[in-house]
Amino acid sequence: MGIAWCCPSSPETRSLSQNAHFHALCGDIAASGIPWAGKHRTATEWKVLLVSGHAVATKQGSDMVPGLEGEFLNLRESTAHMSIARASSLIEYTLAFCAAHEVPIRDAQQWRVDAETGEIT
């Protein structure tokens, strides 16, 4: 009598190239200098804004909770845990945002990877 194994499957998570593409787009938006809520934002801040906006636009909603010091924050979805299809949707959403705000987008060949941090600049 053998042992039966059951391995639940889940969708494959986003690829490294999708991750690099999305982070490069966040950098392009930050470099464009367009302000949000009255100030210029970093690539990291644009990532939070885009992931949150994408969740609302795709009917996933947002989870606004009081923080530990009384501030409010959005517990956003993790891009590392997104499926390939969801990451593609996020990139399409980001490209649409860039087009609507006339953000110049670099070609993939123009990306430079910082050897120390791994960030795309």
CATH fold, domain 16-110, is NinB fold (1.10.3790)
pTM over 0.85: no
Name the nearest CA neighbour of 79 among 9, 11, 8, 15: 15
User: Cα–Cα distance between 102 and 100 in angstroms, integer?
Assistant: 6
- Concatenated DSSP letters of 11-48: PPBPPHHHHHHHHHHHHHHHHHT-EETTEE--HHHHHH
Q: What is the pLDDT of residue 25?
A: 96
- Residue pLDDT, tens place only, 7-59: 667 779 999 999 999 999 999 999 999 999 999 999 999 999 999 999 999 99
**H/E run at residue 57:** helix 43-57
- Residue pLDDT, tens place only, 81-99: 999 999 999 999 999 999 9
Average model confidence (pLDDT) for the chain?
89
